[in-house]
Amino acid sequence: MSRTIVFNFSHVFDGVVWNTLSSPENDVILLEIRNSEKKKVEFAALDIQNQKFLWRDKMLEEPWWINLSAVAENIVFFTLYTDTSNPDKKGLLAYDLFTLQLLWWNNDFSLISVFKSCILGVSAKFGHRQVSLDLAGKEITSSEHGEKIDNKVIRPSQYLADHQYFTTVKTFLDQKFNLSPITALEYLEYQSLIFISCYFQEDELANYLFIISEDGTLLLKEKLDDHLKGIGLDTFFILSGCVFFVKNKVELVSYKIL
């Protein structure tokens, strides 16, 4: 029996979906939504199993100079830019995933990596000093960071136009659907389905997602965006048996893989 897809859900936000992260412990997607006209950034946490938001349209105390950085052990980490004239000066805020209550903060910490029991970063107060914190925000001296977070998200590989894989996929699309992508594409095979995100020259550059079954049936052709000035990265991803993508910069769309 061939795999297929079925529409799951979509949500439209008041701003550009700038960043998405997934919780390793739960089927929760974190979203950073930026509205440059209003100079505000909002955040949301979506439980993709029951399709309900844990919280949505949430602003933190800093309205703009903050971004979503990581999630681990039900803690969401945000990077705060403490000096807008110096991007090296950063702080870290830790919030509870389910309640969005502030747990702790560090005004001199630039996040590098997240592990299961601690986080690694840099303090800029006295030069650049590498620092390790436990998940309660306390500095630790152990050089053993333990296991890295196991990210369940499956992301495509990107191939630029001069790569041989780009040529192979382009030939396939041309022969099968009379399509001729340019510039770059992203490719993924998952559960007997082929996922291709690629670009075409229309009035301006446009990005399309194709989902194709193992027998060559086109299951989905979706325009993700147009009037583009350049290419994107990770234009779709797979999590917990569903494919996710952002359409027109403001809409999160999901299909279930059956």
Residues 68 and 186 in one domain: no
As a whole number of Å, the end-to-end CA separation of the chain is 10
> Residue 26: left (phi > 0), alpha (psi -120 to 50), or beta?
beta
User: Residue 215 sits in which domain range?
Assistant: 157-233
pLDDT per position as a tens digit, 126-144: 788 999 999 999 999 876 7
Tell me how many domains the chain contains.
2
In a domain, 239, yes or no: no
Answer whether 0.75 is exceeded by the pTM. Answer: yes
Which among 244, 245, 133 is positioned nearest to 256, based on CA atoms? 244
174 and 122 in a common domain: no
- Residue 111 confidence (pLDDT): 96
Q: Contact, 129 vs 120, CB < 8 A? A: no
Amino acid (1-letter code) at residue 93 = L
pLDDT of residue 1: 67
Strands of 107-178 (E only): list them: 110-114, 118-123, 129-134, 139-140, 157-160
Same-domain pairing of 132 and 174: no
Q: Do 232 and 19 touch, CB atoms closer than 8 A?
A: no
pLDDT, tens digit, for every residue of 43-57?
Answer: 999 999 999 999 999
Together in a domain, 15 and 130? yes
Residues 6+ apart with CB under 8 A from 228: 199, 204, 205, 206, 207
Q: Which of 140, 175, 201 is the last residue of a domain?
A: 140
